């Protein structure tokens, strides 16, 4: 297995460069990558020190530096020292400037500005935590999106992912032995999404949970017949509501979240999606 040192250099937190690097590297599963992140790099002197280290390690550099002088320093150094580098920001900025004629601000970290949208996002995250797992049925009526599903259908991480996109999400577990709160029937069905999964996959996931809790692997919780009963019960509820049902088997959280965001009527949301 090939080893690779990868430096992420950014004038802000480095999340963008890290995202691009991880997406590209996922296409090369045989590489073992040692990531090192250098955030908030905004001066030539500190950048020079990092580049020297990159030279010693023959590191691949992914960078997002809004100041062209700094990104050019990386590019020139890499060329002179036979290093590989990927500029994750300047090409996009050049394209936008050429298209619109606008001049970039060149201020690091603008994407994290403390704007209204940013505070909306924090509020949405707090909402998701407050109304996780059916904690308070009042949340069903205040939410942009209501997620339903039996145990271990990824309701919590899905709610948090959508919260990160400024959506207020409440989730409610379904189980045959418990009653759904009456508030559920007052929610617009277009806001409701029902999760389902294949029984055998759910069984495996639940067995793993039992192991992680140090509990016996075989129980009613991980019994295929009981699981099928639960899923049938959930299906009945979904039909009665008339909501969209998403099979999450072999779907990542991001994929399920994207399906929900694409299906959601924008008129049902009070704020912007992405920006």
Site for a copy of itself in 70-109 (CB under 8 A): 84-86, 88-89, 91-93, 95-100, 102, 104-107, 109
Of 7, 14, 150, 169, the one binding a copy of itself (CB under 8 A) is: 14
Angstrom distance (rounded) from CA 78 to CA 85: 7
Residues 147-166 that bind a copy of itself (CB under 8 A): 154, 156-157, 160, 163-164
For residues 200-232, b (16+ Cβ closer than 10 Å) or e, as one string? Answer: eebbeebbeeeeeeeeeeeeebbeeebbebbbe
For a copy of itself, what does the binding mask look like between residues 164 and 193, x meaning CB under 8 A?
x-----------------------------
Does residue 215 interact with a copy of itself by CB under 8 A?
no
150 labelled ligand-binding: yes
> Of the two residues 265 and 274, which places its CB atom closer to a copy of itself in the complex?
274
Residues 117-136 that bind a copy of itself (CB under 8 A): 118-119, 121-123, 125-126, 129, 132
Q: Element (H or E) spanning 202, and its range?
A: helix 199-213
Question: Looking at residue 216, what DSSP letter applies?
Answer: -
Please name the residues in contact with 12: beta carbons below 8 A apart, sequence gap of 6 or more: 39, 40, 64, 108, 109, 111, 112
Residue with tokens 């601000």, as numbered in its chain? 105
217 labelled ligand-binding: no
152 labelled ligand-binding: yes
Of 52, 79, 81, 112, the one binding a copy of itself (CB under 8 A) is: 112
Cβ atoms 112, 96 nearer than 8 A: no
Nearest to 11 by CA among 87, 84, 122: 87
Residues 216-275 that bind a copy of itself (CB under 8 A): 250, 252-255, 257-258, 261-262, 273-275
Angstrom distance (rounded) from CA 195 to CA 172: 11
Does residue 24 interact with a copy of itself by CB under 8 A?
yes
> Of the two residues 97 and 236, which places its CB atom closer to a copy of itself in the complex?
97
The least CB distance from residue 22 to a copy of itself, in Å, is 6
Could you tell me which residues are annotated as the binding site for ADP? Answer: 149-156
């Amino acid at each position: 297995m090939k080893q690779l040192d990868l430096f992420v250099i950014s004038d802000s937190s480095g999340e963008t460069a890290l995202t691009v690097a991880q997406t590209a590297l996922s296409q090369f599963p045989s590489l073992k990558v040692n990531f090192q992140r250098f955030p908030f790099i905004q001066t030539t002197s500190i950048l020079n020190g990092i580049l020297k280290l990159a030279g010693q390690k023959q590191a691949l550099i992914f960078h997002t530096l809004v100041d062209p002088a700094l990104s050019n320093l990386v590019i020139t150094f890499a060329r002179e020292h036979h290093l590989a580098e990927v500029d994750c920001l300047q090409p996009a900025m050049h394209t936008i400037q050429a298209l619109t004629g606008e001049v970039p601000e060149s201020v690091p970290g603008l994407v994290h500005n403390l704007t209204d949208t940013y505070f909306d996002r924090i509020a949405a995250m707090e909402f998701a935590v407050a109304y996780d797992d059916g904690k308070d049925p009042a949340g069903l009526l205040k939410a942009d999106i209501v997620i339903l599903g039996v145990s271990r259908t990824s309701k919590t991480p899905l709610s948090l992912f959508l919260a990160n996109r400024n959506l207020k999400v409440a989730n409610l577990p379904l189980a045959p032995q418990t009653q759904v709160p009456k508030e559920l029937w007052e929610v617009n069905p277009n806001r409701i999404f029902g999760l389902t999964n294949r029984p055998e996959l759910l069984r495996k996931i639940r067995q793993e949970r039992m192991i992680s809790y140090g509990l016996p692997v075989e129980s009613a919780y991980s019994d295929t017949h009981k699981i099928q009963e639960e899923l049938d019960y959930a299906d009945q509820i979904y039909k009665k509501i008339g909501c969209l049902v998403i099979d999450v088997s072999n779907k990542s959280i991001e994929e399920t979240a994207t399906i929900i965001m694409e299906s959601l009527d924008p008129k049902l949301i009070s704020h912007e999606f992405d920006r």
